[in-house]
Amino acid sequence: MRRTDRASAELVRLVGQTRRRLWIAAARALAARGESIVAWSLVNRLAQLGPLTQRELADASAQHPAGVSRQLDELERKGLTARGTDPTDRRRRRVELTAAGVRWFQQTRPLVDQATAPVLAVLRPAEQRVLTTLLRKVVSLPEVVSAPRARGAPSRARRRPRGRASGSQG
């Protein structure tokens, strides 16, 4: 493996592990209050970005659209979000926080901040700012990830011919 490949693999692993640690810390703190980390994640994105379509919210929160739709049903039942027709495209649903949703976010954000602080405590404040700046730089560009393949569509990966395994016997 080339040095740049190893560095990329290491970065993917480290970012993934860091995200997991932050997510688990926040999830545990919220669960102790009977709240969901997925719900908080959606409300957090709406609080930061303002009204979004359901698809935009799914993308912004890195959640599957079907899961977002189910979670929004629950948030709407609790009175934290409201869905309406997108004025730019009447076929799409637009989601926004209600006043109760804003209050809920303001009440739960300190809890999440407190829960995730120990994960980030290994970094000095200046290092946290540098890391934030670098990660913002990475996510500021449009995604270049190819679209997922449709269900049942053949994989693009090459497959080894059936029969004999290359280079081995039996």
Strand order, beta sheet including 52-53: 52-53, 89-97, 81-86
Using CB atoms within 10 A of its CB, is residue 109 exposed (0-12), middle (13-18) or buried (19+)? middle
The span from the CA of 16 to the CA of 24, in Å, is 12
Domains in the chain: ranges and CATH: 8-129 (1.10.10.10)
Residue located via tokens 């730019």:
88
Share of residues in the chain with pLDDT > 70 (%): 82
* pLDDT computed for residue 150 by the predictor: 53
Amino acid at 3: R
- Name the pTM for this structure: 0.76
**How does pLDDT run across 139-162, given as a tens digit for each residue?**
888 766 545 545 554 444 433 444
d(CA 83, CA 130): 37
pLDDT band at 87 (very low <50, low <70, confident <90, very high): confident
Average pLDDT for the chain = 85
